Amino acid sequence: MTKIIDGKKRSEEILADIKEKIDINKLKPCLAIILSAVDEASKIYVNNKITAAKKVGIETRLISLSNNVTAEEILKELDKLNKDSFVNGIIIQLPLPSHIDSSKIIDAVDSKKDVDGFSPYNVGRLAAGIEGFFVPCTPLGVLDLIKQEDTNISGKNIVIIGRSNIVGKPLAQLLLKQDATVTICHSKTHNLKFHTLNADIVICAAGKEKYFDKSYFNDNSFVIDVGISREESGAICGDVDFDSINGFIKATTKVPGGVGPMTVASLMKNTLKAYFIQNEY
């Protein structure tokens, strides 16, 4: 039997805990979201974040900008949010329209409000293994899910498929900090199966619909599926071919109901942390 690690259930526990802290202490955290309406998926992700925030008592401010917004206009909005003492956390929903240099925008987010953990200060601190203000939300959610199954990952052989700045790289830094032995694989990796078949834990973040079947894993594999793709039928699926691995490997997350809700829960956690940082608790 393959054990299913339930990200939806775990995220609800985290959200309940956040709500309790906010209610008991009568806190008023506020999260601002800059959305430049480029794609439907971004709108759905933003709605999920707003719904979760409402659930726990975090106020949200949505700044919706058009597709042809300029970098200067975004920077102006960002400057207002950076200076607004009522706003604790700021996220820039990615991707931005292609004519905008995202790094220039992300670099301008106040690192104490950077609840996505993408600003140079937070990225640098994580890379150096020193505590910064925030760690990116998906890696935080993945680490929490790993710990649901495996509480001691020190020395474990963990393979991450994907080297993006928002998932693969920060996740590798986070896991290294936990003393795991980390290998990052990507589209140019030779003999990917050599790595995955010898790993204790495999984290799939390639963005390839149902690409990884049982031939990539062994019967003791623990797999975390970060991928989110939409099938032709409209259904959401992950990077892993669940039907192929189910009953063969030791444990896995599922898509939907795995890493996705954990990313949102981690964002709420980071927003509450931002509130504490700014109010010097």
Active site residues: 49, 93, 116
**Binding string, 97-116, against ligand NAD, x = CB under 6 A?**
--------------------
Of 128, 183, 126, 181, the residue nearest 154 (C-alpha): 181
Query: In the complex with ligand NAD, which residue's Cβ is closer, 48 or 157?
Result: 48
- Maximum separation of any 2 CA atoms in the chain, in Å: 54
Following DSSP, what letter does each residue of 160-202 receive, concatenated?
EE---TTTHHHHHHHHHHTT-EEEEE-TT-S-HHHHHHT-SEE
Give the nearer residue to ligand NAD in terms of CB position, either 68 or 191: 191
Binding-site member from 74, 227, 241, 253 for ligand NAD (CB under 6 A): 227
How many helices (H) and strands (E) in the chain?
Answer: 10, 11
Q: Closest Cα partner for 239 from 203, 212, 202?
A: 212
Comparing CB distances to ligand NAD, the nearer of 206 and 274 is: 206
- Establish if 253 lies at the interface with ligand NAD (CB under 6 A): no
Q: Which residue, 85 or 191, is less far from ligand NAD as judged by CB? A: 191
- Cis amide linkage into residue 29, ω under 30° from 0: no
E-state strands within the chain: 3-5, 30-36, 59-65, 89-92, 157-161, 181-185, 201-204, 222-225, 229-230, 236-237, 251-253
Minimum CB distance to ligand NAD, residue 37 (Å): 18
Q: Are 34 and 78 in contact (CB under 8 A)?
A: yes
The minimum distance between CB 141 and ligand NAD, in angstroms, equals 7
Query: Residue 122 or 263: which CB sits closer to ligand NAD?
Result: 263
Q: Which of 228, 240, 245, 274 binds ligand NAD (CB under 6 A)?
A: 228
Contact region with ligand NAD (CB under 6 A), list: 80-88, 108-116, 201-209, 216-224:
201-209
* 259 contributes a contact to ligand NAD by CB under 6 A: yes
Q: Which of residues 116-175 bind ligand NAD (CB under 6 A)?
A: 138, 161-164, 166-168
d(CA 168, CA 191): 19
Give me the least distance between CB of 164 and ligand NAD, in Å please.
3
Least Cα distance to 115 among 281, 277, 279 occurs for 277
CB nearer to ligand NAD: give 57 or 168: 168
Query: CB–CB of 200/222 below 8 Å?
Result: yes
Interacting positions 18-77 with ligand NAD (CB under 6 A): none
Minimum distance of ligand NAD from residue 175's CB (angstroms): 15
The window from 99-107, 181-189, 194-202, 269-277 that contacts ligand NAD (CB under 6 A) reads 181-189
- The secondary structure of 112-134 as a DSSP string is TT-TT--SHHHHHHHHHT---S-
Q: Say which residue the tokens 């997350």 belong to.
A: 253
Task: Choose, by CB under 6 A, the member of 226, 249, 272, 274 that binds ligand NAD.
Answer: 226
Interface ranges with ligand NAD (CB under 6 A): 138, 161-164, 166-168, 185-187, 189, 192, 205-208, 211, 226-229, 259-260, 263
